[in-house]
């Protein structure tokens, strides 16, 4: 366990290599480097086939896919959209940018996913949609959530940024709601640096998404020969990534199984090494419900107090393990407090989990040394909690 001789365990390192470089060069040499070129089309078709969904649009980010979702569902002033407070900022921004109001729900302490009972409590006549976030690549309770959405006539927009190649009752995350949003950011399981996707089975929403994504014009229909000139037909923006990025994503998709398998190896090594410490101590390990097939995006655990968490983070870092905290709850953030009137301490699980959570380094390059890293980590954790 000597710090000076042990290689630093970095939090995230994607697999990128010669195939990605070759694919980029091929696009550069083809001369078509704009978006919606042949590579983008190929990747979208591949995703549609793999996921069994009608329409996939590559986007510049998951953030932009979420913005497109709010646009095509016509979310606007006076509307409320329910989402977890333990969340990245993108879905909240997407709602605020439309002049609508995000309403923050609590999470379950086992999966850190949205608590469906709390969602039910927060539905009002103004509620228009729910945005479940599949934290760590483990699905929300989609059966309960969809039932609640159906009963109240609400849209479901899945923030599946972390959910690529994860499943719920066999269904890929992102394909169950009215709209699903993926991220291919550098920190995600499959990456092209910055990128995302907008998914839907609904023909009308797909049509609207196509316009919104192409600056509110019907240029795509024009290219298909369906109209003889293209023009401004709706609200929109520029959400189309370059074919250069699509080429990187294309290679990453071919690495999908290897990436998931290596991540599972690391996740399982941490779980097994920490498990003996969790029996009756202050350590809480993550839960993967039976219906969920995880993509092992994050390994997290919790301790009993914020003080212990903060000390443990420092000690892990001192020993070369780049452990990290995660989201500061949105409802209690400076901007969250401006856009909602929710009390800063009204979501008890959110606050407590956020303050006691530790994420461990997890990426495919750690697979070969996973057991050694997990053992080192468990030793450090044991010395701090016992």
Ligand X SMILES: *Cc1c(COP(=O)(O)O)cnc(C)c1O
Interaction site with ligand X (CB under 6 A)? 61-63, 88, 90, 133, 159, 161-162, 183, 185, 196
Cβ of residue 183: shortest distance to ligand X, in angstroms?
3
* CA distance linking residue 357 with residue 85, whole number of Å: 15
Cβ of residue 9: shortest distance to ligand X, in angstroms?
21
Nearest to ligand X of 161, 370 (CB atom)? 161
- Residue 340 phi, psi (nearest 5): -130, 165
Cβ of residue 59: shortest distance to ligand X, in angstroms?
8
Gyration radius (Cα) of the chain, Å: 21
Nearest to ligand X of 104, 380 (CB atom)? 104
Nearest to ligand X of 133, 157 (CB atom)? 133
Cβ of residue 61: shortest distance to ligand X, in angstroms?
3
Helix (H, G, I), strand (E, B) or coil at 104: strand
* CA distance linking residue 123 with residue 137, whole number of Å: 26
- Residue 231 phi, psi (nearest 5): -150, 180
8 Å CB contact between 86 and 350: yes
Helix (H, G, I), strand (E, B) or coil at 133: strand
- Any idea what DSSP says for residue 95? H
Cβ of residue 184: shortest distance to ligand X, in angstroms?
7
Nearest to ligand X of 111, 218 (CB atom)? 111
Nearest to ligand X of 106, 373 (CB atom)? 106
8 Å CB contact between 302 and 326: no
Nearest to ligand X of 66, 123 (CB atom)? 66
Nearest to ligand X of 115, 159 (CB atom)? 159
**Number of neighbours of residue 123 by Cβ within 10 angstroms:** 18
Cβ of residue 218: shortest distance to ligand X, in angstroms?
26
* CA distance linking residue 73 with residue 128, whole number of Å: 9
Nearest to ligand X of 59, 218 (CB atom)? 59
Rounded to the nearest 5 percent, the helix, strand and coil shares of the chain are 45, 15, 40
Cβ of residue 132: shortest distance to ligand X, in angstroms?
10
Q: Cα angle vertex 54, ends 49, 60, to 5°?
A: 85
By CB neighbour count within 10 A (0-12 exposed, 13-18 middle, 19+ buried), where does 216 fall? Answer: middle
Region of residue 127 (left: phi > 0; alpha: psi -120 to 50; beta: else): beta
Cβ of residue 58: shortest distance to ligand X, in angstroms?
11
8 Å CB contact between 181 and 209: no
């Amino acid at each position: 366990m000597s710090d000076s001789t042990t290689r630093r365990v970095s939090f995230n390192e994607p697999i990128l290599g010669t195939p990605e470089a070759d694919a980029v060069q091929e696009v550069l040499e083809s001369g078509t480097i704009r978006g919606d070129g042949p590579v983008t089309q190929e990747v979208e078709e591949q995703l549609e086939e793999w996921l069994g969904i009608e329409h996939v649009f590559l986007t510049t980010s998951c953030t932009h896919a979420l913005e497109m979702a709010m646009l095509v569902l016509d979310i606007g002033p006076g509307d409320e959209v329910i989402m977890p407070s333990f969340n990245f900022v993108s879905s909240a921004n997407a709602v605020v940018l439309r002049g609508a109001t995000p309403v923050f729900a609590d999470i379950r302490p086992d999966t850190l996913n949205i608590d469906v009972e709390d969602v039910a409590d927060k539905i009002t006549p103004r509620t228009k949609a729910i945005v479940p976030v599949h934290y760590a690549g483990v699905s929300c309770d989609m059966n309960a959530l969809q039932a609640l959405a159906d009963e109240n006539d609400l849209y479901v927009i899945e923030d599946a940024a972390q959910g690529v190649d994860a499943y719920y009752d066999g269904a890929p995350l992102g394909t169950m709601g009215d709209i699903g949003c993926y991220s291919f950011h550098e920190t995600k399981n499959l990456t092209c640096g910055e990128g995302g996707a907008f998914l839907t089975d609904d023909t009308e929403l797909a049509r609207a998404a196509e316009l919104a994504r192409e600056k509110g014009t019907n240029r795509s229909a024009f290219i298909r020969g369906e109209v003889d000139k293209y023009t401004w037909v709706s609200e929109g923006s520029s959400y189309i990534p370059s074919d250069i990025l699509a080429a990187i994503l294309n290679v990453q998709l071919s690495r999908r199984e290897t990436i998931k398998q290596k991540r599972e190896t690391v996740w399982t090594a941490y779980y097994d090494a920490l498990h003996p410490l969790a029996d009756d101590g202050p350590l809480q390990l993550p839960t993967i419900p039976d219906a969920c097939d995880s993509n092992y995006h994050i390994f997290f655990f919790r301790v009993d107090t914020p003080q212990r968490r903060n000390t443990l983070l420092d000690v892990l870092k001192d020993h070369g393990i780049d452990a990290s905290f995660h989201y500061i709850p949105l409802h209690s953030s400076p901007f969250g407090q401006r856009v909602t009137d929710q009390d800063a301490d009204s979501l008890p699980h959110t606050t407590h989990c956020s303050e006691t959570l530790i994420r461990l380094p997890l990426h495919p390059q750690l697979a070969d040394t996973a057991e050694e890293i997990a053992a080192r980590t468990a030793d450090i954790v044991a010395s701090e909690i016992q």
